[in-house]
Structure 1
Amino acid sequence: MVVDDHPIWRDAVARDLAEAGFEVVATADGVASARRRAEVVQPGVVVMDMQLADGTGAQATIEVLAVSPSSRILVLSASDERADVLEAVKAGATGYLVKSASKIELGEAVRATAAGRAVFTPGLAGLVLGEYRRIAQQPDAVPAGAPVPSLTDRETEILRHVAKGLTAKQIAARLSLSHRTVENHVQATFRKLQVANRVEATRYAIEHGLDRDSDT
C-alpha cells in the first residue's frame, strides 16, 4: 500500500512498484484513509510519506499497525531530518528512504522490508543506532533485574552481527554458514526476545551491550 498526499507522486510510486512486480493493493492520502484501507487489505508493506493530508506519517504508522499489526512500514520521505527519522522509527517504521532514491533502490528496499530487514538511506542507519545507544546509556533504560532470554552462543553471535547492520547473506559468509541456517537462527532469536524485526532486535542488542564484540 502506498500512502502519500501528493496524487502525482503517489500514482508514480504505485506504478513503479507494479512495474517491479509488486501487487499494489491500495493507496491512501492521509492518516484516516490509511487506517481504513489497511484494516481491509492488510498490506504486507506500506510505503509511507511523512507529510500527509491530515497528519504525519508517524501518526499513520501507529494507526496502520493498530489495525494491521503484521504490516511493515517503509517511510519514503523528502525529509532526512533527524527528528523525522527518529519519530518514524519510534512509531514502528522498519525503514526510511529519502525520495531521491531510484526506482531500483525503492524496489530493493520494499523487498528487504517485506523480509523483515531494516532499510535506511545511507547515513540514517547510523543516526538511528546512535539514538538507541544514547537511550541505552540513560539510567533505567533497562529495568534492574529484567529477565534476559537465554540465547545460545550462536544466536548471540548472529544477533551481534544483526546489530551491526549485516544482512543474512553477509552473516552467513562471515560465519561459514548457509543462508537458511542464519535465517533460522535470526527467527529463533526474534521469538525468544519477543521482537518483530531487526530494528527492535538491534535496540535490544544495544541496550544489553550485545552490539559490541566480546573481546572489546
Structure 2
Amino acid sequence: MVVDDHPIWRDAVARDLADEGFAVVATADGVASARRRAEVVQPLVVVMDMRLADGDGAQATAQVLTVSPGSRVLVLSASDERDDVLEAVKAGATGYLVKSASKAELSAAVRATAEGRAVFTPGLAGLVLGEYRRIAQTSGAGPTGPVGPSLTDREIEVLRHVAKGLTAKQIAARLSLSHRTVENHVQATFRKLQVANRVELARYAIEHGLDEDG
C-alpha cells in the first residue's frame, strides 16, 4: 500500500512498484484513509510519506499497525530531519528512505522490508543506532547482562553484523560461512532472545552494545 498526500507522486510510486512486480493493493492520502484501507487489505508493506493530508506519517504508521499488525512500514519522505526519522521509527516503521532514492533503491528497500530487514538511507542508520544506544545507556542493559542469555561466540559475532544491517549473504561472505549456516545462527538467536525478526534482533544488539566493533 502506498500512502502519500500528493496524487501525482503517489501514483508514480505505485506505478514504479507495479512495474517491478509488486502487487499494489491500495493507496491512501492520509491517516484516516490509511487506517481504513489497511484494515481491509492487510498489506505486507506500506510505503509511507511523512506529510499527510490529516496528520503525519508517524501517526499513520501507528494507526496502520493497530489494525494490521502484520504490516511493515517503510517511510519514503522528502524530510531527513532527525525528529521525523525518530518519530517514524518509534511509531513502528522499520525503514526510512528519502525521496531522492532511485527506483531501484526503492524496489530493493521494499523487498528488504518485506523480509523483515531494517532499511535506511545512508546516514540515517547511524542516527537511529545512536538514539537506541542513548536509550539503552539511560535504561541499563537489563537482567541478562551485556551479552544476553547463553549466546555462543559465533552467535554473538553474527548478531554484531545483523546490528550493522548486513544481510545473511553478506555476513556469510565476511565470516567464511555458508548462507544456510548464518541463517541457522540467526534463527537460534531469535529463539534464545525471544525476538520475532531481524529488526527486533538488531534492536537487541544495539541496546546491548553489540553493534560496536571489537
**TM-score for the superposition, normalised by structure 2:** 0.92
- Which residues of 2 match residues 1-216 of structure 1 at below 5 A? 1-138=1-138, 140-143=139-142, 145=143, 148-213=148-213, 216=214
User: One-letter code of the match for 1:160?
Assistant: R
**Which deviates more, 204-213 or 107-116?**
204-213
Tell me by how many angstroms 1:88 deviates: 0.5
SS at 2:154's partner residue? Answer: helix
Output the CA distance in 2 between the equivalents of 1:181 and 1:71. 28
SS at 2:151's partner residue? Answer: coil
| Alpha-carbon distance change, 127 to 149 in structure 1, aligned in 2, over 3 angstroms | same
| Alpha-carbon distance change, 72 to 188 in structure 1, aligned in 2, over 3 angstroms | farther
User: One-letter code of the match for 1:165?
Assistant: G
User: One-letter code of the match for 2:59?
Assistant: Q
Tell me by how many angstroms 1:105 deviates: 0.7
User: One-letter code of the match for 1:87?
Assistant: E
**Which deviates more, 166-175 or 82-91?**
166-175
User: One-letter code of the match for 1:4?
Assistant: D
**Which deviates more, 3-12 or 164-173?**
164-173
Work out the percentage of aligned pairs sharing the same amino acid.
85
Residues 94, 197 of structure 1: 8 Å contact kept: no
Where structure 1 has 5 or more consecutive residues not aligned to the other structure, the ranges are none
Residues 118, 197 of structure 1: 8 Å contact kept: no
CA-based RMSD: 1.7
SS at 2:160's partner residue? Answer: helix
| Alpha-carbon distance change, 47 to 175 in structure 1, aligned in 2, over 3 angstroms | same
Deviations 1:172-207, CA, capped at 9 Å, x for gaps: 111222223322322332343333443332221122
SS at 1:15's partner residue? Answer: helix
Output the CA distance in 1 between the equivalents of 2:91 and 2:194. 17
Output the CA distance in 2 between the equivalents of 1:55 and 1:192. 39
Deviations 1:135-169, CA, capped at 9 Å, x for gaps: 1111x3444x3584433333222111111222211
Figure out how many residues of one structure are paired with residues of the other and give that number.
212
| Alpha-carbon distance change, 195 to 20 in structure 1, aligned in 2, over 3 angstroms | same
**Which deviates more, 25-34 or 75-84?**
25-34
User: One-letter code of the match for 1:29?
Assistant: D
SS at 2:47's partner residue? Answer: strand
**TM-score for the superposition, normalised by structure 1:** 0.91
Residues 75, 97 of structure 1: 8 Å contact kept: yes
Where structure 2 has 5 or more consecutive residues not aligned to the other structure, the ranges are none
Output the CA distance in 2 between the equivalents of 1:149 and 1:35. 38
Output the CA distance in 2 between the equivalents of 1:92 and 1:197. 13
**Which deviates more, 165-174 or 83-92?**
165-174
**Which deviates more, 162-171 or 16-25?**
162-171
Residues 133, 209 of structure 2: 8 Å contact kept: no
**Which deviates more, 93-102 or 163-172?**
163-172
